[in-house]
Amino acid sequence: MLLKDKVIVVTGSTKGIGKGIATKIAEEGGTPVICGFEKDLVHDVLPNEFAEKGFEDLLIMECDVRKEEDVKAVMEATAKKYGRIDGVSANAGITDMCPFEEMTPDRFDRMISINLRGVYMADWCALPYLKKSQGKIVNTGSDCALEGWEYLTSYSAAKFGVRGLTQALAKELGKYNINVNCVCPGIIDTDMWIKTDEMLGEINHKEKGESWNEKIQAIPLGRGGLPSDLGNGVVFLFSQYADYITGCSLPVGGGSAVN
């Protein structure tokens, strides 16, 4: 088991990619701390769901990554329950797609506050604990952190920011033996992509699923990704096999980032 006895906080892990990451961490012997803003998932759904998979007594908390007090509370509760934090997967994020002229300042600010500031907040609040454990950070970027996409101006800006933050922290935190990397998902079959497909369809006047199929056809490996695919990439970056890797932006998209 690649992450035996490792305690790793995963933000935005109540569904989608984050849930896939948390599940893979648990399957590899680690202890994921799950957090998100959906109260029903946190209190009613996920405790039973993970228990049925054999992962009982996990710490599952409400958390809005825009709020310093929420993120600090997660880190404090994790340290209190488990005695340490070995890693943080700063994953929480949203999507928003529209022509640039419709990207109002409020819409832009909301994207940056969650997808960039939220990553900073998780990394910053975890740092005191990671210095003690000589732990690892894995931020969630995107194909849009490697190449900007049309109609995804705010999302691309935020994800490029995540990549820059990752590189800067890798240089600064190396003296504490903290590895800082970024995983860059391509097209992953989640609710977020369904929403993106719908928004892209509205912009380009296409049927539901048409944009998804076009993107899939352009992927060298010929399929869209699953949350578990991202989980595999994140587990690798948290594992001992990535002990000499830092500042990396790892594409996990079946070759979708190749150009």
Other Cβ atoms closer than 10 A to 171? 11
Catalytic residue among 6, 136, 159, 215: 159
Catalytic residue among 155, 206, 208, 241: 155
Contact 240, 132 (CB under 8 A): no
Query: Is-catalytic flag, 129?
Result: no
Contact 250, 231 (CB under 8 A): no
Query: Is-catalytic flag, 131?
Result: no
Residue 182: what residue type? C
The first and second tokens of residue 159, run together, are: 């994800």
Report the catalytic residues: 155, 159
